Amino acid sequence: MKSVFFSLFGAAAMLAAGVTASSANDRYADRPPVMVSPDLSAPWVLQLGQAPGIVRQSRQQVQQPLRRYQWQAQPDQQRTAAVQPPAKRMVARPQINPVYLPQEVAYDGGQKPGTIVIDTTQNFLYLVEKNGKARRYGVGTGKPGFEWSGTHKITNKRVWPDWRPPAVMIKREAAKGRYLPTYLAGGMENPLGARALYLGSTEYRIHGTNQPWTIGGAVSSGCIRMRNEDVVDLYERVNVGTTVVVM
């Protein structure tokens, strides 16, 4: 009798164990993936799979192996990306009017070939050529209160010139809350740009700019401003001693 009882008990126990193991396997056959909540105070919320706005991945998506060449962000990289500031918005600068781009034009102003003539009312610089022609460039000229006219010679030429603002300019700009350096080495940040042609013994120059969108306007403190590519072209065409007529 005891043998029969233990046999039945053993069979029932084995059956129960089998059912329990089967139920356990069935229960975790489609286990939800472990997901880290952005709210570290309640990391279990996303594991429920029922949090508002949360879409659980399918098992196939979770178990799909990464390809050998596929990059996967590491936790440190993910945290770094999360705290990075948004990319800066690019500010679109106005394009230069095509009329101010270099071009060959007819010229009958009476100046001899090789002379530079600057029309500060139309914002053009002319390099007089032979046969009634001139090479014309767009320029930026003196803003109201800084206009001037006269005739000078080019006394010096500089490649990527440094800049030492005059004391009067430093004082004037400081009164507006803008503080200029006493010295700035040549380079892309320098407002004199790629080349400079010095006019007589004055503080005026024909020079490049790091603000090419200002060409065609009355924008300077008296200097003649050109696009960098244009002042480089002019620089190669004229020499020290060239006459410059500012009208």
Q: For 90-107, what is the mean pLDDT?
A: 86
Whether pTM > 0.85 for this model: the answer is no
pLDDT in tens, 51-61: 344 344 444 44
Higher pLDDT, 41 or 107: 107
152 is catalytic: no
Residue 120 has pLDDT above 70, yes or no: yes
Answer yes or no: 207 catalytic. Answer: yes
Per-residue pLDDT, 154: 98
Which residues, in sequence order, are CB contacts of 243 under 8 Å at separation 6+?
111, 114, 115, 116, 151, 152, 153
**Active-site pick, 207, 222, 242, 244:** 207
Q: What are 185-217's pLDDT values in tens digits?
A: 999 999 999 999 999 999 999 999 999 999 999
Active-site option among 223, 226, 238, 246: 223
Higher pLDDT residue, 90 or 119?
A: 119
| 68 vs 208: which has the higher pLDDT | 208
What's residue 33's pLDDT? Answer: 54
- What is the DSSP secondary-structure string of the chain? -HHHHHHHHHHHHHHHHHHHHHHHHHHTTTPPPP---S-TT-TTTGGGS-STT--PPPHHHHHPPPPTT-----HHHHHHHHHSPPPPPPPPPPPPPGGGS-EEEE--S-PPTT-EEEETTTTEEEEE-STTEEEEEE-BEEPTT----EEEEEEEEEES--B---HHHHHHHHTTT----S-B-SSTTSTT-SEEEEETTSS-EEE--S-GGGTTSEEESSPEE--HHHHHHHHHH--TT-EEEE-
| Residue 185: predicted pLDDT | 95
| pLDDT grade for 30, boundaries at 50, 70 and 90 | low
> Considering the chain, what is the average pLDDT of its residues?
78
Say what percent of the chain tops pLDDT 90: 60
pLDDT band (50, 70, 90) for residue 79: very low
Mean pLDDT of 142-154: 97
Indicate whether 34 pLDDT > 80.
Answer: no
- pLDDT of the residue at 31: 52
Domains of the chain: 98-246 (2.40.440.10)
The lowest-confidence range among 76-90, 167-181, 197-211, 216-230 is 76-90
Mean pLDDT, rounded, for 6-30? 48
